[in-house]
Amino acid sequence: MKSDITIKMARCKGCGICVAFCPKQVLALDELGKVHVVNGEACIACGQCELRCPDYAIFMDKLDDKKGATA
């Protein structure tokens, strides 16, 4: 399962909690102290970043790995 990570930069205060809890080092803080995706391909869609963000600045949309699959 892969995901599409959306970051609301205006909400991010740069606490680094999401970076600390990411098991695959997908996120990092930039020179301004804001979070950004540095290794999106490594994301395992665990949801820890979204769950732990105290400012609701990260949203994860899980993507289905099966191409052309219908529900």
pLDDT in tens, 10-56: 999 999 999 999 999 999 999 999 999 999 999 999 999 999 999 99
Give domain limits for the chain.
2-63
DSSP per residue, the chain: -EEEEEE-TTT-----HHHHH-TT--EEE-TTS-EEES-GGG-----HHHHH-TT--EEEEEE-SSTT---
Task: Using a cut of 0.85, tell me whether the model's pTM lies above it.
Answer: no
State residue 71's pLDDT score.
44
Architecture per CATH, domain 2-63, reads as 2-Layer Sandwich (3.30)
